Chain A
Amino acid sequence: QSALTQPASVSGSPGQSITISCTGTSSDVGGYNYVSWYQQHPGKAPKLMIYEVSNRPSGVSNRFSGSKSGNTASLTISGLQAEDEADYYCSSYTSSSTFYVFGTGTKVTVL
């Protein structure tokens, strides 16, 4: 099972919107609504930002939103802030023997 494909880096200026893509196959992203997104600051544990494609846990800013089209899921951060600078990982259920698969990770830089 290969990792889901994410861009290595995405950047934007404060206040702008950015979108991170997460591309898989029909065996994972495209086949199930079990895509989640995690934010990880350096030296810290990952934090759940989006679950089941587009749901936000309590306490997560509504500047974060998720969507999916075909085999590609997306995380959009609107009104970019300095504190959003971090690594972001997508994850999906997969029908392969591994059950879970992560994305390759995207480093978000706030210019």
Chain B
Amino acid sequence: QVQLVESGGGLVKPGGSLRLSCAASGFTFSDYYMSWIRQAPGKGLEWVSYISSSGSTIYYADSVKGRFTISRDNAKNSLYLQMNSLRAEDTAVYYCARDSSGWYWDYWGQGTLVTVSS
């Protein structure tokens, strides 16, 4: 069965960096686009970034452009999100999600909490 398991979250000071990982299993990872989506505590969902199956096409939300970098390693069935210059408003649960290529996400991980606070 499809599984997505995020890791790497934690407490970081403003201006700091963190790298999230998402381990995928149960499907051919290299065939699928992937996304990171976040949810601030008590708030709604916000799409963060997208990467194509080969990694050649990448998109970012305006709120993270220039600070976050999405990448993937198809040999390791893994998705990553490098987050730099973190701000308090980046505090959220970060989900990795499989993009169906139909502009929707059919599987989601359980999420990893990132807290940016001094």
- How far, in angstroms, from A36 to B97 measured CA to CA in the complex? 14
At the interface, yes or no: B110 with Cβ under 8 Å from chain A?
yes
Chain A residue nearest to B110 in the complex (CB): A45
Interface residues of B, count at CB 8 A: 21
- How far, in angstroms, from A105 to B46 measured CA to CA in the complex? 11
A3, A102, A103 — most chain B CB neighbours (10 Å): A102
When distances are taken between beta carbons in the complex, the residues of chain A under 8 Å from B102 are 34, 51-52
- The 8 A CB mask of A78-105 against B (1 = contact, 0 = none) is 0000000000010111000111111111
- How far, in angstroms, from A97 to B107 measured CA to CA in the complex? 24
Is the pair B103, A100 in contact by a Cβ cutoff of 8 Å? yes
Interface residues of B in 82-118 (CB under 8 A from A): 95, 100, 102-111
When distances are taken between beta carbons in the complex, the residues of chain A under 8 Å from B100 are 51
A-to-B contact residues, CB < 8 Å = 3, 32, 34, 36, 38, 44-48, 51-52, 57, 89, 91-93, 97-105
